Structure 1
């Protein structure tokens, strides 16, 4: 079977490798093309190539001498869906929940030699609180900017937005070992209840279209059901730990 030929013009310099060029080259290779790989080895060469040919971007891909265009156009040519780069998505939160759930399962098995469902749920929520707290703490300023847009307390007292992530992560840490429950559980219950009410008011009553700061500032996670779930989980584990204590 004869392979089709393709030519790709992409930026490859000692200090910069165009990521879209790498991905386009990989797509062509995995789809069985014989590739002529043309490197634009300086920024000036890249700029000159675009200006001379009237292109807005590189890489530029040609198949059997016919210009296809850039990386997105190549995906379309190959019958693939768009490669998502921007836009709102629940993927960051779902990734956290998936990993922390598996952590809870393996930790329970390692410590108890069995799959105790109650302990798995306890650890799952506590691990999730810790990870979500880390994501907020890594850029407190950015988190606070998003958080004050909808949290009822943070809108009136901005410093609260800098405290929230530490309460969330700290309560999760203490709940893992069952330490200082009478401090950790009430603190988590208070902030999560405020958070739940805030989400309900902003999303379901005021119908505002906002991004959630649950995985830190600057994310494209929509404020809504997943955000409410985070707060409800914290509320549930807080009440359970208090009753258990």
Structure 2
């Protein structure tokens, strides 16, 4: 972890930066699940359309997710990571936690792992249903719009591809990594597990870069507003 860094910087990373990073990531994952559910209700079950299209409801739901995850996981971790640094081993961050902090960490890791796989199942279910519904509407209308069908499949495929590529490797690797970090269980090829875990964290963080490209490709309103913004800054862009 941070080779050559001062002890103070390592403590800051363990106590604050790392916690904020992971909490923000799981907040983003949870919101992706809610977005897929919103689209499911709008397209597959229109009876759920009213709340989904209510701006205030969306703001409240987003606020609840942020407050719940930061209030329930991040802030307690800030408070309970209160021990003086006493080693520079791979378990440096864990050594900073009080006994209550270690117990909380174990609980949060297990809870976030469960949360991810629940959201993953929800996302796959919702977008699979959306794809079938859209394709069924093409068939019912007698349309032979192959281009439209391909576009629908391509959009859903891209959303799922980005989600799986960014987050699934990390959560597969977190299982042996967590066994090693928390319970000190020896795992096969322990060194490679640690290296792959660090790489998978980097891949997960790349979601922050890939999502805007998805918005540009999939959302016409977002694309047009971005073009208008760029033109306002003097950047020549063709629609």
What TM-score, normalized to structure 1?
0.33
**When you count strand as a share of all residues, which structure comes out higher?**
1
**When you count helix as a share of all residues, which structure comes out higher?**
2
What TM-score, normalized to structure 2?
0.33
